[in-house]
Amino acid sequence: MLSITHFKKKYASKQIPVLSVPELILDAGIYWFKGENGSGKTSLFKSIAGLIPFEGTIAVNGLNIIQQRMAYTKLVNYAEAEPLYPAFLTGIDLIEFYKQTKGGSFPAALFESLGVEKFMHQKTATYSSGMLKKLSLVLGFIGNPQLILLDEPLIALDVAAVEALQLIILQFSRQGVSFLITSHQPLSSELMEVATTFLLKEKTLLPQIL
């Protein structure tokens, strides 16, 4: 499913190394990425999502992020840890934008269980951090993704929303969608069948033996 080779990420301005992953090949499943603040989790996720440049090769289902970018970005979705959207847009503007570009299906169950409908016609400038998080999660599931990257998906969510999200992740996972998740909060072992947990330490990625 995901293949990473000779991956290196440095801070653009100072050329300070952030993370190095010589090789990582993952089959379909749910993967939990742990690490201290600043260990490079978000940089890795942003690189896989195509938000920032990096050295090396990243491919999903054989599609290379650089050579087949359009097809690749249809397969890979990303929900940020701290989403930021233009203040003048409403939730529905963004949902329509994503539906238009990503195509595919709409995660109606997640949309309903997170209660996004209640505030989707308001401008994002009026959203609380929890509302922004819920919107970003719905956007992260739009289309026909094969890999969804969820950066700290549980922060700012209420208890009911956390449970609803974990159920949706399980449901999507059973349909063959893979997840890479970073979370400082524990993931429910009853609801999530985590294949492997990785630890980002000393600027590299290590499988964590539990």
Compute the distance between CA of residue 42 and CA of residue 51 in angstroms, rounded to an integer.
11
User: Considering the rule CB under 8 A, would residue 39 count as an interface residue with other proteins?
Assistant: no
Please choose, out of 56-64, 73-81, 162-170, 181-189, the segment that lies near other proteins by the rule CB under 8 A: 73-81
Q: Distance from CA of residue 42 to its chain's centroid?
A: 9
Give whichever of 128 and 171 is closer to other proteins, judged by the CB atom.
128
User: Considering the rule CB under 8 A, would residue 7 count as an interface residue with other proteins?
Assistant: no
Classify the C-alpha dihedral 174-177-180-181 as positive or negative: negative
User: Considering the rule CB under 8 A, would residue 13 count as an interface residue with other proteins?
Assistant: yes
Do the Cβ atoms of 91 and 162 come closer than 8 Å?
no
Report which of 122, 121, 138 is spatially closest to residue 172, judged by C-alpha positions. 138
Strands (DSSP E) contained in 11-120 are: 17-26, 30-35, 55-60, 63-64, 76-79
DSSP state at residue 117: G
User: Considering the rule CB under 8 A, would residue 144 count as an interface residue with other proteins?
Assistant: no
User: Considering the rule CB under 8 A, would residue 155 count as an interface residue with other proteins?
Assistant: no
CB of 122 vs other proteins, minimal distance in Å = 9
Please choose, out of 34-42, 46-54, 56-64, 191-199, the segment that lies near other proteins by the rule CB under 8 A: 46-54
| Residues at the contact surface with other proteins, assessed by CB under 8 A | 12-13, 49-53, 66, 69-71, 73-74, 76-78, 80, 83-89, 93, 96-98, 100-102, 123, 126, 139
